[in-house]
Chains A and B, each alone.
Chain A
Amino acid sequence: MSTQPPQPSASRNIDYPEIPLTQLDNGLQVLCVEAHHLPRVAILAALPVGRVSNPNNNFGLAQFTLETLKEGTKSRSSRVIAEQLDQLAIDFSTEIYMEHCLLSMTLLESNLKAALDLFADILLNPVFPEHELEKVKVRWHSHLVSERSDPGFLANERVFQELFPGHPYSRISFSLDHLSQLDREQAAHFHKSRFTCHGSLLLLAGSIDLEEAARQAEGALGQWNAGSPMELDSPHLKPSQSPAISLVHRPHSVQTNVLVGLRTLPQNHPQYIDLQMMSQVLGGGASARLFLNLREKRGFTYGVYSSIRGYSQGGVQLISCSVHNDKTGETLTEIYREMQGLQDDPPDSEELNRCKSEIVGSFIRGMETPSSIGSMELGRRMKQLPADYYGDFIPRVNSVTEQDVSETARRFLSPERASVVVVGERSEIEDQLKPFGAVGVYDTDGQRID
């Protein structure tokens, strides 16, 4: 065996597939990712309803409505729905994002017709029975209480409040108070006005073609109310508040969660790809600068990562890690050093090429299953990204230069722009934070206590 690693052979091309689309008479757009190698189909519906759709007096309504669709329809009780889902071995899930939501079912192809009927019934005919909603509210109460024991949740909640003050983007969850106000009427009204097929997409992925998908969709969802365009009542972003350190006091913590947040660009911005590259160089994985420094050199943490998310009006970059309590201050120093370092010391071609390969590799793995391609396509359309966003993705990644990365770093990565959140045992970490600026202290309920 050679002492040098072998070179790659010739690569096989991979193209983002053409995803055909048709429209039903009611305006619903139906897409299909066809692949017959396994007898499995995914039904995915994306609706333009997200956390930003919540009214100002209740930040839980969209999620509550979405998640209680399966609590009963005009013809099926909650128990009957549960029984049918399990009997047909259907995995059903719902997910709410910032600006859209997703309902999905995966199943064996032989159950497609029955599954689609059930899917349509849940989506179109929910009745939100009072007695079921009361039970759901008890469970959600526990969920909302118990997410406050998770340091990662507490850090994210605080950082979004700091980055997007007063804007719907600032809310990643909601309060017990809002939960207690939720009721049947609100859910039913919200469903009627917002869960329409206008702007919604249905995608079938797997062992099916577009023609059959459209025929089946017409049968199940042809009666879906077209609705009317609904403006997202989303105020314009205000500047982030002056940077400060937020300390969330979580008693008895034996480790400290550090989260550094920065406001960035919306995902449809042409320079979003530069941001993605900059984040990858800084903290995209185990070969990135932050990981090699904080874990492999210093042993402060099990892992440290940087990631970005984009919305229609703006985006965020998040740098996160859980560190030894005594190393909280040093961790911040090193994160700042690496942020500054990327401005002064751009990646060389080897480092940049590695990061390009990482991004492209992850994109290719995302195309391995029909349903993962389907999710990418629905996300692209809901976020109104260009039609060639994925088709042209690999060349765009490869066109980013060292200079693009350092310019992006200079624009976004200065520590003065950062909102820093630290979650842990106050008595062990507060003094370490003081050199970095004023420290605001919060309890695990999100209330400022100091």
Chain B
Amino acid sequence: MVISSIPRLKFTEHQLANGLKVILQENRRTPLVHLSLHYLIGSGYESKGRSGFAHLFEHMMFQGSRNLAKNEHGKLIDSAGGRWNASTNKDRTNYYETVPSHYLDLILWLEADRMEALNITPENFQNQRQTVIEEKKQSYDNRPYGTAFLRFDELAYENWAYAHSVIGSVEDLQEAKLEHAVEFHRRYYGPGNATLVITGDIVQTEVLDKIRDCFEGIPDNTNAQHPDLDEPQQLEEKLESMADPLAVLPAVIIGYHIPPMGSTDDYALAMAGLVLADGDSSRFYRRFVYENNWIAGLIAGSNHYRGPQLFRVWFQIQQDVSPAKILEAMEDELDRFKEAGITDAELEKARNQVAHRLVAQMERVSHVGELLAQYSSFFDDPNLANRQLERFLAVSKEQVQLAVQRYLLRENRTVIIVEPGASQ
């Protein structure tokens, strides 16, 4: 495979006097422009009793600002034929829009407007609290295995920062106060805690002036307290079983503590994940599906956290197969991996898969924008987007084997077994 033929992203980096980081990437193929604005604030920043607040606050960003009434923000982008949304995870909250390129001025103005000030009424705050509670039910409580997924990080992590869920508890959401939102906006939603990325049909030199016009006048009053994410070393396996009345098949979720995103071992473990569980020729698929037909579903890989991560494996199990058998066979596969490592062909296969995925990521301006924003806001180095391939290619067979030997250990894992049926 001609890996050197994979194109590199050309972009420019800037910083405004108020601290706002700006990245511009020109791609004029389609008359579309994407804006991605990342704030370094996620559920990992929440204190006890305030779970779910970062995400609830994300909803508030659409509820009225200095110059716009509730829902006007989205309506203006819809009227431009754009797509917009936002998401919150443990580490960051992102806001994004993809619009026909002649509406670039509009989306810059809109993001600056709500960065500068919000204007939320108690009614709107209460309305979005209810909406988020329904979101929690739709995404977790009313879905098979949803409760187990919410429980998993609670069990695996000792540090509250990552142990509690992004969606939060209903009790904490009920206690959330509008005045907290005002303080939250001041502390986290300013230029000094944000990265703005514009990709697509732009002329870089013109865009920078427009960005200055919109954002330079916003003072930076942020005072982000970045959380201590340190996680004590786990010394023995944690295991729980739960009954799920909405599930019809058993499942087992396993998570191993691994280092943060972007570390050398993170890349080695990503390669291990490809060999173990990616594609129908992967080791787990061969053993659990082709040879034995024990499982109905399989996913494996890291959970992509900026801080201490988990390498997670999820098996949905056939009705008459016991979870214990799955765990035993997985241990057996990992033992083989630790002892003999991977083959040259497996390494080559993993490299090809990585290369193809990196190229696929470059197809849409929105994907490129999110990628640059993430590397810039997490690591202050958007060029990591271009260095990903070399980081992956630098991983040797031995490093993959060593990473598995070091991290995918029984005492380092958390297991939740889900059995269908109502709890006793």
Q: Which residues of A contact B (CB under 8 A)?
A: 1-14, 35, 37-40, 78-79, 82-83, 85-89, 91, 106-108, 110-111, 135, 138-139, 142-143, 145-146, 148-151, 251-255, 285-287, 292, 295-302, 322-324, 350, 353-354, 357-358, 360-362, 364-365, 367-369
Contact = CB atoms under 8 A, between A and B. Distances in A.
Interface in B110-160: 110, 112-113, 116, 126-132, 134-135, 137-139, 141-144
A292 B69 CA distance: 13
Interface stretch (B70-78, B171-179, B225-233, B253-261): B70-78
Interface stretch (B36-44, B244-252, B406-414): B244-252
B202 to A, nearest CB: 12
A365 B352 CA distance: 28
Interface string B280-315: 111001100110010010000000000000000000
12 contacts: A1-B113, A3-B67, A37-B7, A37-B29, A79-B290, A86-B282, A107-B356, A110-B2, A146-B316, A299-B130, A324-B137, A360-B81
Contact of B79 (A13, A353, A369): A353
B5 A9 contact: no
Contacts of A357: 78-81
Contact of A145 (B110, B141, B249, B279): B249
Contacts of A148: 248
Given A145-B248, A296-B70, A139 B289 contact: yes
A6 B82 contact: no
Contact of A86 (B1, B214, B245, B280): B280
A380 B110 CA distance: 37
B184 interface: no
A145 B360 CA distance: 34
A6 B109 CA distance: 7
Contacts of A150: 143-144
B6 interface: yes
Nearest to A367: B30
B391 interface: no
Contacts of B67: 3-5
Nearest to A6: B105
Given A79-B281, A146-B144, A149-B247, A8 B102 contact: yes
Given A40-B360, A87-B345, A354-B78, A364 B318 contact: no
Interface stretch (B93-101, B234-242, B376-384): B93-101
B359 A39 contact: yes
Contact of A1 (B135, B214, B360): B214
Given A145-B319, A286-B78, A86 B281 contact: yes
Nearest to B362: A38
Contact of B106 (A8, A251, A296, A369): A8
B49 interface: no
A279 to B, nearest CB: 15
B359 A108 contact: yes
Given A12-B102, A12-B201, A286-B74, A364 B31 contact: yes
Contacts of B398: none
Given A1-B112, A108-B359, A145-B249, A323 B81 contact: no
For chain B, the bracket of interface size reads 35 or more
Contacts of B213: 1
B102 A86 contact: no
A180 to B, nearest CB: 15
Contacts of B279: 82, 85-86
A1 B219 CA distance: 13
B306 to A, nearest CB: 27
Contacts of A87: 281, 345, 348-349, 352
Contacts of A287: 71, 74-75, 78-79
Contacts of A322: 134, 137-138, 142
A143 B293 CA distance: 13
Nearest to A350: B79
B31 A12 contact: yes
Interface in B323-376: 345, 348-349, 352-353, 355-357, 359-360, 362-365
Given A38-B7, A295-B131, A360-B81, A302 B138 contact: yes
B103 interface: yes
B287 to A, nearest CB: 12
Contact of A83 (B78, B201, B281): B281
Contacts of A358: 78, 81
Interface centre among B110, B135, B360 (most CB of A within 10 A): B360
B109 A254 contact: no
A118 to B, nearest CB: 13
A85 B281 contact: yes
Contacts of B318: 138, 142
Given A14-B30, A145-B319, A354 B75 contact: yes
Among B82, B104, B214, B280, max chain A CB count under 10 A is at B280
A368 B348 CA distance: 31
A360 B130 CA distance: 33
A155 B36 CA distance: 36
Given A146-B249, A354-B78, A361 B131 contact: no
Given A138-B293, A149-B246, A299-B130, A364 B352 contact: no
A357 B137 CA distance: 32
Interface centre among B81, B83, B355 (most CB of A within 10 A): B81
B32 interface: yes
Q: Nearest 6 A-B pairs (CB), nearest first?
A: A361-B81, A299-B130, A82-B280, A142-B296, A86-B279, A357-B81
Contact of A254 (B76, B98, B112, B137): B137
A5 B141 CA distance: 40
Of B103, B141, B214, B365, which is in contact with the most chain A CB atoms at under 10 Å from its CB? B103
Given A38-B359, A87-B345, A323-B134, A146 B100 contact: no
B395 to A, nearest CB: 16
A89 B355 contact: yes
Contacts of A253: 142, 246
A6 B71 CA distance: 17
Interface string B51-84: 0000000000000001110110011101111110
A13 B100 CA distance: 10
Contacts of B113: 1
Nearest to A425: B142
Nearest to B29: A37
Given A39-B6, A149-B246, A254-B142, A368 B106 contact: no
B110 to A, nearest CB: 7
A428 B223 CA distance: 47
Contacts of A149: 144, 246-248
B81 A1 contact: no
Nearest to B214: A1
A255 B133 CA distance: 11
Contact of B127 (A5, A37, A151, A296): A296
Given A38-B362, A300-B130, 15 more contacts: A1-B112, A1-B213, A5-B67, A6-B105, A79-B281, A82-B279, A87-B348, A87-B352, A89-B1, A108-B356, A142-B316, A299-B129, A299-B130, A350-B79, A365-B83
